[in-house]
């Protein structure tokens, strides 16, 4: 049966669109973190929406599951197959056309496999801004960011992907195409179907194209890297930054010393901007169209210093300096990966509880695994921490042996403080089983009902997200 499927896919899409050689498939069956590796019947690379529809229809008829994949930069193992070897990977990598830029509607229509950086450039070429911004924007696809409802470093101002999408084109699990590719700002005709697919991590359908909102360009950027005494200082600074930012505050990021140490140890060409060590650092950016962004930032930092919330600050005086400050923040994932075994926890809490969370959980983790390194950083302005752990120096095995217990300590503390175990990376395979423990029974029932209604045959990425 499945041998027939591969022949049918080849006949319909062409030989070059269907990979079965393990060497050709290798890059598609292991994720960026290296923690998730599986096997697949085939990797299918359609070039158009109708080819996606054909591939999904053939898989559904053969009873074979489909794992959609964009740039394979996801951090929860959602875009790679498991070890069952009975699914196909459907890569959107060949669908990378910008279909339309509409200056009147202020929208951009793109195919799902378009890299995020290409979307940003297309917006810039039109004198506008597509504000989604994250570390691997050259590699991740717009379809992947939609499927995960990605966040990044400008959520504080512009919101998550969910707020940037006006319309979607989706291939459904039975191979039909839902054409919701509309640029409408207002459409109150019942359930907002596109929002079901955004953040569904490929479990309800394959996103093939999207209409995206464009925003005013922000050519003037004022950026500072600051030293802070505590997480409390970082959260106390937020209202000040907001007040002085005057609606132009775009980024407020946090970095613990351990995170900075890893960046300084592993990334070439970076340096500590301060002469002395500090416990915590922040990266702030105010962006707009006029030069007052510099003044706004300076005023905000002076006010913060006079209230004792700031220990030191470096302002970027040139684009090159801005890049080097951003590199310290954006390099953490890569640096932590180079350091060895990592346990990722992309958590979110009410902002007012972040400091308490960090103060209370750290000592409990140290007791559970002496020497464990707390690599804490993230989007503090959104209440989102990447509360990642690295193994005690030279002892990756200890971290792996205690992984379950350490994660439970963190998730229990998050739940007790009213937070969520995934802020922006999703559930995928990594957190699938935790969902049952940390979402309510009603929520899990509703999610299952949606899955059953749209994908009763369990074709789409069915071993992910739902417990
Ligand atoms: P993939 O990894 O290929 O897939 C991700 C999920 O979406 C999978 O479940 C997959 O099945 C599904 N999927 C992919 N394409 C489609 C499609 N067309 N239709 C339906 N389902 C699909 N995330 C943030 O939110 N904020 C960050 O700041 C951030 N920074 C990152 C930094 C680094 C260094 C890395 C490696 C990742 C980062 N991420 C961040 C993770 C983030 O989720 C991804 O980078 C991005 O959103 C995924 O895009 P992708 O094309 O690589 O998707
Ligand atoms: C970031 O904010 C990303 O840098 C990646 O979301 C976080 O690697 C991680 O855990
Ligand atoms: Zn992040």
pLDDT of residue 251: 98
Task: Note the helical H segments in 310-388.
Answer: 319-330, 332-339, 354-368
Tell me, yes or no, whether 62 and 156 share the same domain.
no
pLDDT of residue 181: 97
- Nearest-CA residue for ligand 1 atom 42 is 74
Residue 380 reports pLDDT greater than 60: yes
465 domain residue, yes or no: no
Tell me, yes or no, whether 292 and 362 share the same domain.
no
Are 171 and 177 in contact, with CB atoms under 8 Å apart? yes
Identify the nearest ligand to the CA of 147 by its number: 1
| CA gap 412, 406 in Å, rounded | 10
Q: Is 72 in the pocket of ligand 1 (CB under 6 A)?
A: yes
CATH of the domain at 8: 3.30.43.10
Last residue of a domain, one of 308, 333, 358: 333
Mean pLDDT of 220-225: 98
User: What tens digit of pLDDT does each residue of 245-269 get?
Assistant: 999 999 999 999 999 999 999 999 9
pTM above 0.85, yes or no: yes
Among 144, 336, 378, 422, say which to mutate for ligand 2: greatest number of ligand atoms within 8 Å of CB.
378
| CA gap 373, 390 in Å, rounded | 5
Q: What is the DSSP letter of 32?
A: T
pLDDT of residue 351: 98
463 domain residue, yes or no: no
| CA gap 70, 28 in Å, rounded | 10
Tell me, yes or no, whether 27 and 47 share the same domain.
yes
> Residue 151's domain spans which residues?
98-216
454 domain residue, yes or no: no
C-alpha of residue 314 to centroid of ligand 2, in Å: 23
For residue 178, give every residue at least 6 positions away whose Cβ sits within 8 Å of its Cβ, in sequence order, or none. 168, 169, 170, 171, 172, 193, 205
Q: Is 388 in the pocket of ligand 2 (CB under 6 A)?
A: yes
**Residues β-bridged to residue 241:** none
Q: Is 118 in the pocket of ligand 1 (CB under 6 A)?
A: no
Nearest to 168 by CA among 119, 133, 213: 213
Are 366 and 305 in contact, with CB atoms under 8 Å apart? no
Q: Is 135 in the pocket of ligand 1 (CB under 6 A)?
A: yes
Tell me, yes or no, whether 69 and 117 share the same domain.
no
Tell me, yes or no, whether 226 and 327 share the same domain.
yes
Last residue of a domain, one of 176, 192, 216: 216
pLDDT of residue 2: 59
Please report the atom of ligand 2 found closest to the CA of residue 333.
Answer: 8
Tell me, yes or no, whether 189 and 146 share the same domain.
yes
Identify the nearest ligand to the CA of 134 by its number: 1
Residue 3 reports pLDDT greater than 70: no
On average, the pLDDT of the chain sits at 97
| CA gap 29, 394 in Å, rounded | 28
Residue 1 reports pLDDT greater than 60: no
131 domain residue, yes or no: yes
Please report the atom of ligand 1 found closest to the CA of residue 78.
Answer: 9
Tell me, yes or no, whether 257 and 298 share the same domain.
yes
Nearest to 120 by CA among 214, 237, 21: 214
Phi, psi (degrees; rounded to nearest 5) at 356: -65, -45
The count of structural domains within the chain is 4
Share of the chain above pLDDT 90, in %: 99
User: Torsion over CA of 255, 420, 460 and 29, rounded to 10 degrees?
Assistant: 30
pLDDT of residue 253: 98
pLDDT of residue 15: 97
Tell me, yes or no, whether 58 and 130 share the same domain.
no
pLDDT of residue 40: 98
pLDDT of residue 207: 99
453 domain residue, yes or no: no
Residue 236 reports pLDDT greater than 60: yes
User: What tens digit of pLDDT does each residue of 313-366 get?
Assistant: 999 999 999 999 999 999 999 999 999 999 999 999 999 999 999 999 999 999
Backbone φ/ψ region at 460: left (φ over 0), alpha (ψ -120 to 50), beta: beta
Q: Is 345 in the pocket of ligand 2 (CB under 6 A)?
A: no
User: What tens digit of pLDDT does each residue of 145-196 get?
Assistant: 999 999 999 999 999 999 999 999 999 999 999 999 999 999 999 999 999 9
């Amino acid at each position: 049966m499945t041998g027939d499927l591969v022949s049918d896919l080849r006949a319909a899409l062409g030989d070059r669109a269907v990979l079965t050689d393990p060497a050709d498939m290798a890059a598609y069956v292991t994720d960026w973190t290296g923690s998730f590796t599986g096997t697949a019947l085939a990797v299918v690379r359609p070039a158009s929406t109708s080819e996606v529809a054909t591939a999904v229809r053939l898989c559904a008829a053969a009873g074979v599951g489909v794992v959609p994949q964009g740039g394979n930069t996801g951090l929860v193992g959602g875009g790679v197959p498991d070890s069952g070897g009975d699914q196909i990977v459907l890569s959107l990598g060949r669908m990378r056309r910008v279909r339309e830029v509409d200056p009147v509607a202020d929208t951009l229509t793109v195919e799902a496999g378009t890299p995020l950086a290409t979307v940003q450039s297309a917006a810039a070429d039109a004198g506008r801004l597509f504000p989604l911004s994250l570390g691997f924007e050259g590699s991740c696809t717009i379809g992947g960011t939609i499927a995960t409802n990605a966040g990044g470093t400008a959520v504080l101002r512009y919101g998550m992907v969910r707020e940037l999408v006006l319309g979607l084109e989706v291939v459904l699990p039975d191979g039909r195409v839902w054409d919701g590719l509309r640029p409408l700002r207002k459409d109150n005709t019942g359930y907002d179907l596109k929002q079901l697919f955004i953040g569904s991590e490929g479990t309800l359908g394959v996103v093939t194209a999207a209409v995206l909102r464009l925003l005013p360009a922000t050519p003037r950027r004022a950026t500072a890297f600051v030293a802070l005494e505590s997480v409390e200082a970082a959260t106390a600074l937020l209202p000040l930054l907001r007040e002085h930012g005057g609606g132009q505050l775009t980024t407020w990021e946090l970095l613990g010393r351990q995170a900075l140490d890893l960046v300084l140890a592993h990334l070439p060409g970076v340096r500590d901007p301060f002469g002395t060590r500090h416990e915590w650092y922040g990266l702030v950016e105010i962006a707009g169209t006029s030069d007052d962004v510099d003044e706004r930032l300076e005023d905000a930092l002076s006010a913060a210093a006079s209230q004792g919330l700031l220990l030191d600050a470096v302002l970027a005086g040139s684009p090159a300096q801005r890049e080097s400050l951003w590199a310290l923040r954006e390099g953490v994932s890569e640096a932590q990966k180079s350091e060895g075994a990592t346990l990722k926890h992309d958590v979110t809490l009410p902002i007012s509880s972040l400091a308490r969370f960090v103060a209370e959980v750290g000592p409990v983790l140290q007791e559970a695994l002496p020497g464990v390194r707390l690599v804490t950083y993230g989007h503090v302005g959104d209440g989102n921490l990447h509360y990642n752990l690295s193994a005690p120096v030279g002892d990756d095995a200890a971290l792996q042996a205690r992984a379950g217990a350490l994660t439970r300590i963190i998730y229990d503390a998050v739940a007790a403080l009213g937070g969520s175990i995934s802020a922006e990376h999703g559930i995928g395979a990594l957190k699938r089983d935790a969902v049952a423990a940390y979402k309510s029974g009603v929520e899990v029932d509703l999610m299952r009902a949606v899955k059953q209604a749209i994908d009763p045959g369990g074709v789409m990425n069915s071993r992910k997200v739902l417990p």
